Amino acid sequence: MNNNMSGKGQQTKAIHAGESPENQNKASAPHICMSSTFVVDEPLSFSANNLEPDSPLIYTRWANPTIAQLEEKLATLENAESCVAFSSGMAASSSILLSLLNQGDHVVISNTNYPGTAEIARDTLPRFGIQSTPVDTSSLDDIRAAIQQNTKMIWTETPSNLLLRITNIAAAAEIAQQQDAILVVDSTFATPVATNPIELGADLVIHSLTKYIGGHGDALGGAVVGRQELTGPLRGEGLIHYGGVISPFNAWLIMRGMATLPLRMRVHQENAMSVAEYLENHPRVGRVLYPGLPTHPQHELAKSQMKNFSGMISFTTDQPHQDAARMMKELEIIHYAVSLGHHRSFIYLMETKDLIGSSYRLKGEEREKYKAVAGEGLFRFSVGLEDANDLIEDLRLILD
Ligand SMILES: Cc1ncc(COP(=O)(O)O)c(C=O)c1O
């Protein structure tokens, strides 16, 4: 069968890329290859340093047929040369930071990232002689001002956790190129359905596959896509030496979820828009952040950079702690839980003092900017695939 996906649409790629009926009995659905090791019929080096992209299979921490199918599907959806899958989004992120940076290097990193990424940059990298400067990467001037002679990487997350800030990827890529630095984009909130950062000039793109790409809340995973020259060291160090390999079973589950990603993203967006409009008109709700709303401070940039506004909303209420306490007990459909991008809806109060204190340690003007938007805390609402009316009815139990 010809599995050439060039010129095909995203939904066709999501279903067929990386897969073809296996040779023996022509099964239409992919097999799961749960073997940890492979029988070798010619002498093979046991060193990660001698690994080539077409090396024969030897051990699943190096490569595995099911994981390779997932990698090919995601690389195809992102129009990228290559992909390496990991056991979680954090395994993917830490592998980039620890495999591609050296002692004495400097990173410019967005200051309202996923907290795990913020903490590893601030607390772990300095132990290896790598410094980072957290900035609001939605401001290109702030990125430029933070560049140092030894800046080797610019790291953005767009849309970013909680404040849903949008970074202009093409413009950030130009800054990175002038500095000969690697531009990394965490595109977990956007997914390849909304944005293809590689086409806009990014060097590496990260996804927490645990979120929209897997989409069903039953498997953790992560991935990095980009040029082979950059992903090769991630396989060699990040997988083979640090060991953050995904289980083939999880890879299979995630691949199954990916087949419906474009369809799901349409409904996530549709539902999020209905919920955002309901929230915006509610007297007890203060601020509603959703890139698809004309009131989002970067709605125009979001329109030009995102083909789908995804399903993440952040909002404030006039009594966040009481509302959160009631949500935990009284919501009937929406789960009061962390994580995002699943078919089920999740809501969670992210307290400002925790985020600007423990996670981001924002100071001065950036601290005030955050507080002005978030007040005491923002509810992060990952709008799922249930009927929008039912989600609004559930919110009414708390807000009306
Ligand atoms: C934007 C983003 N990147 C990375 C991660 C980490 O992913 P994982 O939980 O799969 O390690 C998360 C988790 O919430 C996230 O929101």
Work out the number of other CB atoms within 10 angstroms of the CB of residue 387: 12
SS3 340: coil
Q: Judge residue 20's burial from the number of C-beta atoms within 10 Å of its C-beta, 0-12 exposed, 13-18 middle, 19 or more buried.
A: middle
Q: What is the pLDDT of residues 30-82, one digit of tens each?
A: 999 999 999 998 888 878 777 777 888 999 999 999 999 999 999 999 999 99
User: Which has the higher per-residue pLDDT, 48 or 136?
Assistant: 136
Per-residue CA distances from 226 to 41, 199, 205, 394 (Å): 32, 10, 7, 41
What's the confidence (pLDDT) of residue 141?
A: 98
Atom of ligand 1 nearest to the CA of 91: 11
pLDDT band at 1 (very low <50, low <70, confident <90, very high): low
Q: How far apart are CA 272 and CA 399, in angstroms?
A: 17
Residue 85 Cα, ligand 1 centroid: separation in angstroms? 14
Residue 2, pLDDT above cutoff 60: no
Question: What is the rounded CA–CA span in Å between residue 68 and residue 63?
Answer: 7
313: helix, coil or strand?
strand
The long-range contacts involving 323-329, CB below 8 angstroms and separated by at least 24 positions, are: 323/349, 323/379, 323/398, 323/399, 324/349, 324/377, 324/379, 326/398, 327/398
CA of 114 to the centre of ligand 1 (A): 6
Q: How far apart are CA 294 and CA 300, in angstroms?
A: 8
Q: What is the pTM of this model?
A: 0.97
Amino acid at 383: V
According to the model, what pLDDT value does residue 20 have?
A: 83
Q: How far apart are the first and last CA of the chain?
A: 57
d(CA 287, CA 316): 5
Asked whether the predicted pLDDT for residue 96 surpasses 90, the reply is yes
Output DSSP code: residue 220.
-
320-346: average pLDDT: 98
Residue nearest to atom 8 of ligand 1 (CA): 89
C-alpha–C-alpha distance, residues 264 and 341, integer Å: 10
**Neighbour tally for 260: CB within 10 Å:** 17
Q: Treating both helix axes as pointing N-terminal to C-terminal, what angle do 261-280 and 388-399 enclose, rounded to 10 degrees?
A: 30
Burial letters 140-151, b for 16+ CB under 10 A, else e: eebbeebbeeeb
pLDDT at 47: 80
Task: Give the atom of ligand 1 at the shortest distance from the alpha carbon of 157.
Answer: 1
Which phi and psi (to 5°) does residue 52 adopt? -115, 155
- Tell which residue, 283, 284, 386, has the closest CA to residue 334: 386
Interval between CA 89 and ligand 1 midpoint (Å): 5
- How wide is the angle at C-alpha 368 spanned by C-alphas 314 and 296, nearest 5°? 35
Is 383 touching ligand 1 by the criterion CB < 6 Å?
no
The sheet carrying 131-135 orders its strands as: 82-86, 222-226, 204-208, 182-186, 151-157, 106-110, 131-135
Task: Quote the ligand 1 centre to 220 CA distance (angstroms).
Answer: 10
Of ligand 1's listed atoms, the one at least distance from the Cα of 211 is 10
Closest CA to 332 of 264, 275, 274, 396: 396
Name the CA dihedral angle for 240, 341, 200, 315, rounded to a multiple of 10 degrees: -130
Give the tens place of pLDDT for each residue, 242-279: 999 999 999 999 999 999 999 999 999 999 999 999 99
- Percent of the chain beyond pLDDT 90? 92
Evaluate the CA torsion angle 102, 243, 220, 58 in order and state its sign.
Answer: positive
Nearest-CA residue for atom 16 of ligand 1: 114
pLDDT tens per residue, range 379-388: 999 999 999 9
| pLDDT single digits (tens) 283-318 | 999 999 999 999 999 999 999 999 999 999 999 999
User: Could you give the CA distance from residue 148 to residue 183 in angstroms, rounded to a whole number?
Assistant: 15
Measure 117 CA to ligand 1 centroid, in angstroms: 8
- For residue 212 and ligand 1, the question of a CB distance below 6 A is answered with no
Beta strands in the chain (DSSP E): 82-86, 106-110, 131-135, 151-157, 182-186, 204-208, 222-226, 285-289, 312-317, 335-336, 346-351, 377-382
